[in-house]
Structures are given as structure tokens and as C-alpha cells.
Structure 1
Amino acid sequence: MYKYLFFTCVFLTFLSLSAKAQNDNSLITLEEIYEKETYRQKSFGPVRWMKDNRGYSTLEDNPEYGEKDIVRYSVPDGDRRVLVSAEQLIPEGGDTPLKIADYEWSHDNEKLLIFTNTRRVWRYHTRGDYWVLDIQSGELMQLGKSVERTTMKFAKFSPDDSRVAYVSKRNIYVEHLDTGQIRQITHDGGDDIINGTFDWVYEEELSLRDGFRWSPDGQHIAYWQSNTQGVGTFYMINNIDSVYSQPIPLPYPKVGTTNPAVKIGVVAADGGQPRWFDIPGDPRNNYLARMDFVPNTNQVMIQQLNRLQNRNRVWIADILTMEFENIMTERDDAFLDIHDDTIWMDDNQYFTWTSERDGWRHLYKISKDGSDAKLITRGEFDIVNVVQIDKENNYVYYIATKEDYTERYLYRSSLSGNEDPERITPAASEGQHAYQMTANSKWAIHTYQNRNTPNRISLISLPDHRKVRVLEGNEELKQKVDALNINYKEFFRIDIGEVILDAWMMKPVNFDPGKKYPVIFYVYGEPAGSTVQNNWGGRRDLFHYYLAQQGYIVISVDNRGTKVPRGRAWRKSIYGQIGILATHDQAKAAKAIFDRYSYVDSSRVGMWGWSGGGQMTLNCLFKYPDIYHTGIALAFVSDQRLYDTIYQERYMGLPSENEEGYHDGSPINFAENLEGNLMIMHGTADDNVHYQSFEMLVDELIKHDKYFSMMSYPMRTHSISERPNTSLHLRKSMVRYWKNNLPAGGK
């Protein structure tokens, strides 16, 4: 009876707050965030720098036709010229322009390749239709007229712009633009064989989607071929779109099982018999993680990771002789990351290479035979990513941070490696910066953001970093959010004894330090990401500000092993102990926070996370029930043996060699320790972290007579965002659970 009255009061309070929010513009509503998109951030572009380095093209609305014009702006004067109007993109016999999803200029800027009518493949819209516009004649030509609509992927011009190659239904085609002749140059694609693109695991974990390359002379195409025969098939079930359920088969290699066999071949651009590189090593226990042509040669550079991903063998292979040579081998005691920072220099006698061999992520200049390696970016700091290598002026521009791991700034170093790094970003602009630079490094599209500043996109000159004009300031969004009754997140550091961790805190409105408030920890904790960054957090931060307005303190802590530029030792510390070291760090951080901040109520502690963060939430609740009392875990891995080979084995090794680590890092093995309140949520069509993980945990909790709440979202994927009202419904369900199980407000 009393429990019923308590929850009734809580619910009525929630309704009262919700009603007040409808009439108080200073309070956030979930509908504004997830339904009305009141706080949506505006973007700019996509931008394509023109090859003369004196202007850029972008997309702008055409009010008459309702689609986009492609417009050129000159730098620095800003002269505007419509290069391609929406009217020019109306197919013959039609009345509606093509909707531009993406576009690419030909090498001579005389033709335009347009990607339209797109469809999603796993994460991204990578298949659809392609058209080519001849700028001089105005002719608009649809490609692939003899192939099935919306099946084309990764179309790109040949080096002489006379042809376009693309993938359709697991085979590669070449189309002549002057005649419209289409030649299919691979013929064995289908079922288990994939040409020119990839299966699920290569796409998800190695970021490989576009799987073919034109040779510099346009005579050949080098490509990946995947054979998924022998890979275990996971079945998702669609129960809601027809009377009878529909199984959805997905070849998906789970930890310790058979991988796809992948090889690299070469075929003439006008067709013929493919030839294959006989790279040593079992193709199912090695990964061909990168392949690109050495400029102006018949050679490709191939990067081959072993299954444990702690060795990267770099090969130079000749597409004419099919001979190859191992020029360099990178090794690490833990794991290696693949980088895309390879640029050839000095008449192809040297190339740039990113490595952590000295304990920090740096750029090196390495000779083609691998015998000579020289450090370019010197110092005890990590480069986050390379922005531009300016060979003419002998500089590399890169993003890094030297003092604060939550921030990102532009630096440059001499390619000679003889000078100290020079910071280009002005010192006063605290936060994170990104740059899209011209080839000659004189101009850049600069994006600036921080915790209370949405993306501010400007044209700047370099290296003086002078702002020429603002392209998108998001001023209206900034004003809307500044007008809200919120306390912007505060960054702090917490010492847990072994290490000092970065964290942030959001405080409730009308915060009173003399009271004690419930705390909700937001967590990720795995090597693929970081939650403690001084950037504009978008809808995620707004959701947390909403929780703070309800009377919660929200905190996030980056434990060891997260994707933070703190050196190799930080990132590799988690090797072999996913879910173990991070859980330890999070628990110690929570206790240290309780000791430091008297206004944090250690009797009302919650945690939530998504994906790896869902796994972390479960581990913390099950292993430290004295600390964490309420948790919401979304789209989680309950047993690490259920996840894919490339990701899980990269950080944990093989299960046969790390049985204890796999057991101790998997929350399902500690489910019997649940004492507090637990809500679990999952999409049944999650192709990434399968609904199986959810069901197995449910079964284990039932076995141990543990009581919990659960919410399944039918035919939603890992993002749990598809179909009407999903995002709003999910957050409302979360808030209701917090309100009912972790009472809000200061005491």
C-alpha cells in the first residue's frame, strides 16, 4: 500500500513537472529534443575544394525547384557562382531534380558524378543510383541502366574521366561515358562471394566499404574479394511486417569462430581473367586491412593484420608481375590500430606512417624498403589525426592536444622532423577544432565547438588562422540553449590512486550545495570511444540537461583504455581485460567523487550506457551493488563470446588463450549478484550486438530469481531509432524508470 502511494506521488510529481515544462521556455522537453528537433544543429556543405585551390563548391537550396544547386565560392572574395543548378539535374521526361546525396567532380572538373536515391547498408547509405552531368553540354546521363536500380555502390571516375566503375550486387562494372557501354568485369559475385565491397565484419570493424581501386593508368582495377562460406549465420527475426515471421540471415563471425576468407586480385578494366596475389598466411586468420596504389605506378601497398591484430605486415605488390615484397612489419605487445595517413613523397621513395612505437601516436617518414624511419612529430603527446600533408611547403598539419585531453587543436610540424611542433589554432579558443584544407594549405573550412558552443563553421586563411567569414554560426541554436535553465557541464579530474581520470558533471537547476542529490553516471568505457570531451554533445547532452532539470546530478568519467590521446600505455592498459579494468576504475572514481563532493548522495546512485556502455552498466551493477543502485543498459553485450571476431579479439585475444578474461569481463557471469533496480533495453533487429545477448541475460536473471524491467523494440537496430516515435518513446521510458526507482531532487 505504502509503496503504491509513494510511486503514485512520484508519478504525479513527474506529470506536474512535465506540465510546467510545457509552459516554461526555460525547461527542456523530450518532445523538443526527439520529436520537434527544436535544438537541431545546422551543418554546412558538403564542401569540395576545387582543384585550383581558389574556391570551393557546396550545396544550397534552390527555392524554385525544391532541391539543391551546386554553388562555387571563390576565396577570399566570396564571389558566388552557380555551377550546377537544380534545373540541370531534371532527368529527361521528368519534372523533379535529382536529390543529391553526394557528388564528385571529375579530375578535369568537366563532369559531375551524382549519388542519389540511396539506401542504407548496415550503418550508412552506400547504395543507390548514379548519374553523370557533362558540364559543357548539359547532358545528364544515368549510369547502370542495365543493372538493378538502387544496387550501385562506390562509383568513381577512371583517371582519364572516360569511364566510371561501380559495384552492383557483389560484382564490379565499368561503364564508358561516351557510348554507354557497360562491361561486367567480375562474374563470380553472389551468395558467398563478394567483389569490390565487404561483408558485415570488415565494414563494421575495419571501416572498409569501398573495395576497389583504379590503377593510375586506368588499365586495371585492383579489388578485394570476400568469401563468407563457413562463416556462421546469425538469424534475426522480423515478426511485425507480415503474418508469418521472416528470418533475416546474417553471416557474422563470432569470437573464436571462422572468419571470411579475403584476398586481393587484379582484373583488366575492359574485362578478362582476374589474377590473385598469393599473400602468405591463412586468409581466414589474417586481415587485408588496407590496399591502395602507389601513385603513378603499377604497385599497390597492402596492409595485412594477423588475427590477433598485434602485427601489421606491409607489402608492396606489382599488379603486372604479381610479385610482392614485405617492406615493413609493425608489432605491438597488445593491439594495433589501422590508420589512413599514408602519403607518398620524394618520387615515391618515402611514405608517411602513423605508429605508437615510442609510446606516443606519431607520424614517421619511412623509406620504401622500410630500412629508414624518421620521426616527424616529436614530443610526449599523441596526434589525433593528420589533416593535410603539404609536400610543397614541407609541412604536416595535424590535430593534437598537449595539455587537456578533452580538447583538440591544429598543429604543424616540418616534414624534416627537425623542428618543434607549432600550434596554429589560437590559444583563446578552448574546445575542439576540425579543418578541411586546400591542397596548398592556404585555406580551410574550420569547425569550432565546445561544451556550450554548437558548430561554428568558418572560412579561414592559413597559417595565420585569420577568419575570412562565417559560413554557419548556429547562432539561433546557441541563443535557444543559452536561454534554457541549465548549468553547463563542468570538467574536473578525479584521482583514484593509480591514475587521474577526466570527468564532467552537470548540476541540477537551483543547485544547493547544502543538499544531497541523486547521481546518474553516464558511461561508455571501451576502446572505441570517449564520453568526456569538450565538444557540443547535441541530443545526448540535452537529454542529460533534461535529467539535471528534473533534479539529478549527471556525471561521466573516462576510465583507462578509452579512446583518448593520453599515450599508448593509457590505451593499451585495457588489453585482455575489457569490462574488468574499466569497471574497477569506474567504481573507484565513484567512491572518490562521493568523498570529494558532499552534495552527491551515495545512497541514490544510478548508471546508464549504450552498447559497450550498456555492458559497463551491467558489470558495475553486478560487481559493485554497494555503489550502484539503479541502472539502465541499452543494446549491450552480456557475454563477450557473442560479439564479432575483429573487435573483441583485438582487445581480448582469442577466448582459448584468455578464458579467464572473457569470463570475468562478461556481465552475464555475475548476474546473480544483482541487488538494485535494472532496466534492460534492446532492438530485436540489432545486427551489431544481437538481441540474443539480451535474451541470454534475461534467462540468467530468471534462473537466479532476480527481478528487473525490460523493453524490447521490434525491428529496431543498434541505434534503436527506426520507425515512428521510437527515439522519444525510448527516452520517456528511461525517464519514467529513473523517476520510479531513483527519486530525484535534493534532500
Structure 2
Amino acid sequence: MALTVGILSQLSTTTTPAFANSNETSEAPPTPPKTDPAVLSLRRLFKTSDFRSKSRTLTWDNNEDILWERKSGKEGPALNQLSVPDLQSTTIVPRETFLLPATEAEVDGDAESADSESEEPSPKPIEISQWTISADGRYLLVYNNTRRVWRQHTRGDYWLRDLSDDSPEATWRKIGGEDAPDAKTMFATFAPDGQSIAFVRDNDLYLEDCETGDLQMVAGSDDPKLISGTFDWVYEEELGLRNGLRFSPNSQKLAFWQLDSNGVPIQTMIDNTSERYAKTIEFAYPKVGQTNSAAKVGVWDRTSKKTVWLDLPGDPRENYIAAVDWLPSDFAHANERLLIQQLNRKQNQNHVFLCDVETGHCVNIHTEVSDAWVRHLRELHWLPGSVFGSDASDNSSPRLLWLSERSGWQHIEAIEIPGPDSLEEESNLPSRITPVTGGSWDVISIAAVAKDGSHIDFIASPEQPSQRALYRVSLEQGLSGQLATTPERISPDEGGTFSYSVSPTADYALESWSDFNSAPQQRLVQLDPYKRLKTFDDNEKLHENLEKLAPVHTEFVRLPIGEFTDDPASKDMELDVWIMMPVGEDNSIESLPPKSVPLLVHVYGEPAGQTVLDQYGGTTYLWHRLLTQHGIAVASVDNRGANAPRGKAFRQSIYKQIGRISISDQAHATQAMLKHFAALDPEHVGLWGWSGGGSSTLNGLFQFPELYSMGIAVAPVPDQLDYDTIYQERYMGLVTENRVAFVQGSPITHASGLSDPLLLIHGTADDNVHYASSARLINRLIAENKQFQMMAYPGRTHSVSEGEGTRYHLRTMMTNFILQHLK
């Protein structure tokens, strides 16, 4: 009755036609209050488009300085080319090409619901997730009906269309055959000559003729644990490998990885929600110290229909094949030799092999070594043959641009690939190495090599580790033995973060820019000399909405931590920090009362990433800014070991010390912030993080309870022995050599130290960081009688994003917990 009275009392204040007396004039309902544009709310972040970022999907042609764009519309998609630099648009594949004829069932169904004078239903366009055009421009390949495999949607259906056939009978052909099972095809890839397509289905590798549709099995097995042309979980996650096939430049050979996951321990997850009865999900997952898949590389010949297996040294379960690349097409032996990068299990050695694909014989030509770990190159850049003043087709010694940390900083080197006519008599062919750049700064990545070989463009940040920009060095200077120690900056001197997608000639680029508080912008630029030609997306609406928000103080600062620790190695250490703070009445932090502002530290702490970045952070940035509107400061620290451009010693100082040096640096940097910013309240300091950041949060609360007063750990790794081989052993060594380091760095070891509010969050379908590890931590906390809050998201993965309302619910819960325990 009370509920009914309450509802009626509300209704009486606003008369509606349903309740109004016919003799009275009804009143219009009051206008809902307008959202204050200065105020952030969770609803604005997750239920409106106020802060949605836009970007045009533009792709460079493989050979010419032409941009491709897929245009969408009610009548279907079309593929356009944009000329550069004038950006004239030409439709190459019109909308009509994408139309599918209506099926008989559709026609019948429409006819039943329409009158006799209605026209027959119009054809519908084919759905498109991705598209590719063959190099000769004859065939169009479309990917749709996709399914997620671990992180990405890499399984689905592929459809082929002959663009040279404009007859009414021309139609789409399903790759793998019309009777191929739905959503089972992976990585359909054109051969360079455009005449065939290789693809993976059910872990087997196939080749299909584009013209005839004839199908050839390249590698297959009845054993489901034998994987050809793609990878197991750990290779995909930690080496970034998904598509495991590589055509030779002349299309006559197909190199591919094959993994044997027999003997790899099985991880089991329970799915309680998809069906009425629970079911299990099982997959091979090698945890620290466990058995890896055995990997090898085969080369299949289209003429002989035979496969040659490369004779790489070492136990295939104790080494990783991290990269497979053919020599570039404009050099001798291009279709005869492969370049292989092989990491040993500890990943402190990267052996580069040159392999003869006719015999399988492999020769070591270069080895990168480190006392901690080495990196492999995921993308190779080669110097053009014209650099050496000779006919490229006769040049048997191509130069590979390599990134090495041997000097203590990551720099570019040119490695001359030996080119003897035969490799059979060789077991080791040391290559000649020419350093190109040098100095106390890091090359982050190579962006492009000028087509005429005059210069190399690369991403670096010599002055500010939080920023990124494009730099250039002259090849003439670099190859002459004069180290390029002062590179030329190409990006405008605006701060923030620049990234580039460079055209085939390296004359133009798609440039993206943002800074910490500014919306992303996408532009077309000329690189030599630098000139902005066109702004594609400036996110004007997002920019306007950001400008209307209540002011916030943002600062990047480097703080010394030596006074807060007795560690001699930390005496002169300074760490980079960003901080967002609410402001006083004069819009500054100087007017804030001392020790009045709680502090929440966003932590990662692992060597795989960097959080102190001068770039727009999207929803996470906006959520942090929302917290400042509640009077809470938010900050982040790059501890030693962060993947920041501060030199090899800084990055690799975390080796065998994850969970120890990382969290002590975080704690001491937090103490330095409390001293540096007088308004911060040392009695109200919180910590939150995701994945490795969740682990750091747990370690912070457990090991430094006197400093932190609350924490939120999302999808953490409570026990390092529960995580995968490639990642954890890369940064911690082998468990057989140093088990104590794994144990001491694991939060579960220090669980008895919990004395502050903890919110633990984990998705039960997390294939990356398993829910089972958090379950073991829960048992430890129960045994220690430690009270905490826990939220398990059923069926959610590592991103905790699947399902209706999940992201909104997650951030609401996190926000409430922070406001309850930190204010």
C-alpha cells in the first residue's frame, strides 16, 4: 500500500491525459533538466555519444601513393580510391558489385506480406568486416560472419568476386567450397600474383585457385592438436602471431608454421551461463615451467606438391620461432631463402637464421644477446638496392634494418645478409653490422625507408619519454660510419603523441595526433618537407565537449625517490609521473587546503607497457577526470622496468624482480608525490589497476599497508606461477633456476598483509589471466581472515566487457567503492 500511495502522490503533481478530468486543460510535462556540460557522469560516459571519438578508415595501397576507403550507405558499401595529394575520389568497386540476389525464400516471404502491385524485393548487400583486392586488381575478397578467437575476430567466412566479370551471372563464391562449414575459415590470404588464396580451417592449411576454385590441402592431420598456418594461445598472445603463412614473392612457395600442442597442459574454464547445464572450455595453456608446443617451419612447393621442413637447431619445445620472412623480391635468392628469428626459452638470445628452402639447411647469421631479455622484430625494413649503386636484381647481399640495445640504448643498425650461392657448406655466416644511429636516446620503432634510399624515418622521443614523434636520419651519413646522434625532427614541435601510417614511397603519411587532454586528430601530411595537406577528422564535437568540462589541473613531472628508500641503486633514481587534480576557486591547485585531496594511483607496473603517456586516454581518461570532479586526484607512475624510452638499464632493471622493485618504486614515487603536492592527503591514498596492474595493486596493499588505504584489482595474477611461459619467463627467468623470485614477487605470498578495503574483480571466462588464480587468492585471504569485496563477472573475458551493461556496471561499482573508501 505504501508503494501505491507513493506512486499516486508523484502522479498527482503532473497531470497526464489518462488521469485528467475532461473539463480541465492538461499541462505539458516539465522539460527534463539539461545536462550540465561541465559535469561528467557515468551515464554520459557509457550511455551517450558525448565523448565518442571518430576516425576515418583509410588504407594505403600496397604499391602506389593511393588511399583506399570503404564507403558505407543504405544501398550497400563501395570501395573508393583517393588520389594523393589532391584527394580526388574514384569509385573502383561500385555498390552494385556488393549486392546479393534475393533468395527464393526471401522473395516468397516478401510476396506474402506485400500486395499484388508491389515490386519484388531488392537485392541486399553482402556484409563486410574486412576486404582485400588482389595485386592485379582482378579479385575482391570479403570477410564476414566473424567469430572471436581469443583476442580478435579471426574466424569466419570469406567470399571471392571476380571484378573482371561484369556479366549478370557474376556472383560471390565462398572460399573453401559452397559446402564449407560456416564461420570456420581463418586468414584467407592472396598469393602475390593474385591467382590463389591460402587459408586455414580446423587447424589445416589449404590453397584454392581463384579462377577454378580447385582446392589443395597443403598441410593437414587427423590430430586436432597439430596446428598448421596459425598458432596456439601463448604464441598468439605473447609473440603477436596469428596468421602463420607466408607466400614467396613469386607465389610458387608457401612457408608456414606448424605447432604440435600434444603434451601441453590443458586449462579448463567453466561456462555456467551459455546453456542450462554448465559446460567446460578446454585449451592448451603452458604455465610457468610447463611444456610448450613444439614449433617448426615447412615450405610447400606448388609444383612438386611437397613440403621441405627447415632444419633449425635445438629442442623445438625449448625454443620459439618468433618470425618467418622471405628475402625481399628485388634481391637475389628472394624466392629461395627465408629469414628466421628463433628465441631460446629464456628469451635472452635471438638467433637469426638464413635458410635454404630447397634443402631446409639453416645458417646462423646474427645473434642478439642480453643478460635479461631480447626483443624480436615483428616487422622488417630493408634498404633498397639502389642505396648500393648496383643493379638490385644482381645484389646478393641485402641490408636489413635492425633494432638493437647492445649500446645500452635501442638504435638502428644495418645488417648485411650474406649471399653465397650455396648454404650447404656453412653452419655460421657472421653478418656485417653497421650502426646507423647512436646516442643516449632510444629509437622506438622504424616507420619507413625512403624509396630512393636517402633516409630512414622512425619514432622516437629523445627529450620526453611520455611523448612520441617522427624523426629522420640520412642514410648517407649513417652508412658512412658517422653515427646519427642528433636526428632531425619531422613532426611539428607540439608535444603530445604522433603516430604515422606511411605511404609506399614514404613521401606521404596518415598522421594521428593527440595529447593528454586533447581529442585525437587524423591528417594527411607530406613528409619531405613536412606539410599538412588535409585534416580528415578533428573530432570537433568531442573537442567542444572536453573544453566545456570543469577545469582540472594536469601535470607531467619527474620526481626523485632516493630519500624514501635505503636501496643504494635508488639513490639517484627519478620517476616520471602524471597527475590530474581538482582545482580551487581560483582554478589553481595553490588555493587548495593542505592535505585535503585524496589520491588514487592508476598502476600497471609490468615491463610490457607504459602508463605515463602524453596522449588521449579515451574512456579511462574521462573516468579519471570524473573522479577529480568528486575531489579526488588521480596519478600514474612509470616505475623502473616500464617499457619507456629511457634506455636498456632502466627497462631491464626489473628482470627477476616483478612484484618487488616495481611496487617499491610505485610506493616511493607516491611518497614523493605526497611531498611535492601539498594538497594531497597522505591518509587517503588508493591504488587501482588491471591485469598486471591488478597484481601491482594487490602487492601494494599487501606490502605497503601503511601507505595505501584502499585498492581495486581487476583481473590480477595473484601467483606468477599461474601465468604463461613466454611472458613470465621472459622477464623472470626460468623457475628451475630461481623459483624464489617468482614466489616473492607474487601477491598471494603477501596476502597476510591486507588491512585496507580491497575490491577484487575477475571475469570467469578470462582465458588470459585465469579466474582460478584469483580463486586461490580468495582461499588464502579466507584462511588469513582478511575481509574484502569480490565481484565475479560470469562469462566475461580479460576485458570484462562482454554482455549488455557490463562496462557501465563495472565502472559504477568501481566508482562507488572509491567514493566510499577514499573520500
Alignment check: 8 A CA contact 2:381 2:448 kept: no
Give 1:359 shift.
0.8
Distance in 2 of aligned mates of 1:201 and 1:342? 22
Letter of the aligned partner of 2:406 in structure 1?
Answer: R
Alignment pair present for 1:203 and 2:223: no
Distance in 2 of aligned mates of 1:584 and 1:376? 37
Query: What residue in structure 1 maps to residue 47 of structure 2?
Result: 35
Alignment pair present for 1:144 and 2:176: yes
Distance in 1 of aligned mates of 2:435 and 2:308? 37
Give 1:257 shift.
0.5
Alignment pair present for 1:248 and 2:281: yes
Alignment pair present for 1:278 and 2:311: yes
Structure 1 pair 428/273, CA: closer, same or farther in 2 (3 Å)? closer
Alignment check: 8 A CA contact 2:473 2:488 kept: no
Structure 1 pair 218/49, CA: closer, same or farther in 2 (3 Å)? closer
Alignment check: 8 A CA contact 1:413 1:420 kept: no
Distance in 2 of aligned mates of 1:557 and 1:697? 26
Q: When the two structures are superposed, what TM-score results if normalisation uses the length of structure 2?
A: 0.85
From 187, 195, 214, give the equivalent of 1:154. Answer: 187
Query: What residue in structure 2 maps to residue 405 of structure 1?
Result: 465
Alignment check: 8 A CA contact 2:190 2:198 kept: yes
* Counterpart secondary structure, 1:505: strand
Letter of the aligned partner of 1:58 in structure 2?
Answer: E
The more displaced of 692-701 and 343-352 is 343-352
Query: What residue in structure 2 maps to residue 330 of structure 1?
Result: 368
Structure 1 pair 297/275, CA: closer, same or farther in 2 (3 Å)? closer
Query: What residue in structure 2 maps to residue 366 of structure 1?
Result: 415
Query: What residue in structure 1 maps to residue 549 of structure 2?
Result: 484
From 526, 542, 560, give the equivalent of 1:461. Answer: 526
Give 1:199 shift.
0.3
Distance in 2 of aligned mates of 1:447 and 1:252? 37
From 155, 180, 187, give the equivalent of 2:213. Answer: 180
Q: Report matched runs for 1:574-653 at 5 Å.
A: 574-653=654-733
From 329, 342, 345, give the equivalent of 1:304. Answer: 342
Alignment pair present for 1:57 and 2:136: no
Query: What residue in structure 2 maps to residue 320 of structure 1?
Result: 358
* Counterpart secondary structure, 1:670: helix
Distance in 1 of aligned mates of 2:96 and 2:593? 65
From 695, 699, 706, give the equivalent of 2:786. Answer: 706
* Counterpart secondary structure, 2:777: helix
Distance in 1 of aligned mates of 2:632 and 2:223? 53
Alignment pair present for 1:86 and 2:95: yes
Letter of the aligned partner of 2:347 in structure 1?
Answer: Q
From 139, 158, 175, give the equivalent of 1:111. Answer: 139
Letter of the aligned partner of 1:484 in structure 2?
Answer: L
Letter of the aligned partner of 2:415 in structure 1?
Answer: I
Alignment check: 8 A CA contact 2:346 2:733 kept: yes
Query: What residue in structure 2 maps to residue 679 of structure 1?
Result: 759
Alignment check: 8 A CA contact 1:424 1:463 kept: no
Letter of the aligned partner of 2:94 in structure 1?
Answer: S
Give 1:38 shift.
2.7
Alignment pair present for 1:697 and 2:754: no
Alignment pair present for 1:99 and 2:127: yes
Alignment pair present for 1:572 and 2:652: yes
Give 1:147 shift.
2.4
After superposition, what is the alpha-carbon deviation per residue over 1:336-377, rounded to whole angstroms, capped at 9, x for unaligned?
112234234443512221111111111111111333101112
Distance in 2 of aligned mates of 1:267 and 1:78? 42
Distance in 2 of aligned mates of 1:534 and 1:195? 41
Structure 1 pair 604/413, CA: closer, same or farther in 2 (3 Å)? same
Q: Where in structure 1 are there 5+ consecutive unaligned residues?
A: 1-19
Give 1:135 shift.
3.1
From 474, 495, 498, give the equivalent of 1:433. Answer: 498
Alignment pair present for 1:124 and 2:152: yes
Query: What residue in structure 2 maps to residue 14 of structure 1?
Result: none
Structure 1 pair 382/283, CA: closer, same or farther in 2 (3 Å)? same
Structure 1 pair 123/99, CA: closer, same or farther in 2 (3 Å)? same
Q: Where in structure 2 are there 5+ consecutive unaligned residues?
A: 1-31, 104-122, 329-333, 386-394, 419-429, 563-569
Query: What residue in structure 2 maps to residue 213 of structure 1?
Result: 246
Letter of the aligned partner of 1:513 in structure 2?
Answer: L
Letter of the aligned partner of 1:455 in structure 2?
Answer: P
Give 1:650 shift.
0.2
Alignment check: 8 A CA contact 1:452 1:488 kept: no
Alignment pair present for 1:25 and 2:52: no
Structure 1 pair 102/48, CA: closer, same or farther in 2 (3 Å)? farther
Structure 1 pair 481/435, CA: closer, same or farther in 2 (3 Å)? same
Alignment pair present for 1:513 and 2:566: no
Distance in 2 of aligned mates of 1:506 and 1:272? 62
Give 1:695 shift.
0.4
Alignment pair present for 1:475 and 2:540: yes
Alignment pair present for 1:163 and 2:172: no
Query: What residue in structure 2 maps to residue 12 of structure 1?
Result: none
Letter of the aligned partner of 2:259 in structure 1?
Answer: S
Letter of the aligned partner of 2:525 in structure 1?
Answer: I
Distance in 2 of aligned mates of 1:608 and 1:203? 27
Distance in 1 of aligned mates of 2:180 and 2:205? 11
Query: What residue in structure 1 maps to residue 16 of structure 2?
Result: none
After superposition, what is the alpha-carbon deviation per residue over 1:313-338, rounded to whole angstroms, capped at 9, x for unaligned?
11111111221111111111100112
Distance in 2 of aligned mates of 1:344 and 1:441? 13
Distance in 1 of aligned mates of 2:300 and 2:773? 42
Give 1:427 shift.
4.3
Structure 1 pair 421/106, CA: closer, same or farther in 2 (3 Å)? farther
The more displaced of 461-470 and 271-280 is 271-280
From 283, 295, 298, give the equivalent of 1:265. Answer: 298
Q: How many correspondences in the alignment?
A: 721
Give 1:183 shift.
1.5
Identity of aligned residues (%): 38
* Counterpart secondary structure, 1:454: coil
Letter of the aligned partner of 1:504 in structure 2?
Answer: W
Distance in 1 of aligned mates of 2:788 and 2:72? 50
Letter of the aligned partner of 2:373 in structure 1?
Answer: F
Structure 1 pair 472/326, CA: closer, same or farther in 2 (3 Å)? same
The more displaced of 511-520 and 164-173 is 511-520
After superposition, what is the alpha-carbon deviation per residue over 1:687-715, rounded to whole angstroms, capped at 9, x for unaligned?
00000111011000000111001000000
**What RMSD, in angstroms, separates the aligned Cα atoms of the two structures?**
1.8
Letter of the aligned partner of 2:705 in structure 1?
Answer: P
Alignment check: 8 A CA contact 1:405 1:565 kept: yes
Q: When the two structures are superposed, what TM-score results if normalisation uses the length of structure 1?
A: 0.94
Alignment check: 8 A CA contact 1:21 1:27 kept: no
Distance in 2 of aligned mates of 1:546 and 1:351? 48
From 261, 265, 269, give the equivalent of 1:236. Answer: 269
* Counterpart secondary structure, 2:408: coil
Give 1:731 shift.
0.6
After superposition, what is the alpha-carbon deviation per residue over 1:579-609, rounded to whole angstroms, capped at 9, x for unaligned?
1111110111111111222211000110000
* Counterpart secondary structure, 1:735: helix
Letter of the aligned partner of 1:365 in structure 2?
Answer: A
Alignment check: 8 A CA contact 1:170 1:190 kept: no
Structure number with larger C-alpha Rg: 2
Alignment check: 8 A CA contact 2:604 2:696 kept: yes
Structure 1 pair 623/348, CA: closer, same or farther in 2 (3 Å)? farther
Distance in 1 of aligned mates of 2:553 and 2:134? 46
Give 1:36 shift.
2.6
Distance in 2 of aligned mates of 1:40 and 1:189? 48
Give 1:61 shift.
2.2
Letter of the aligned partner of 2:51 in structure 1?
Answer: Y
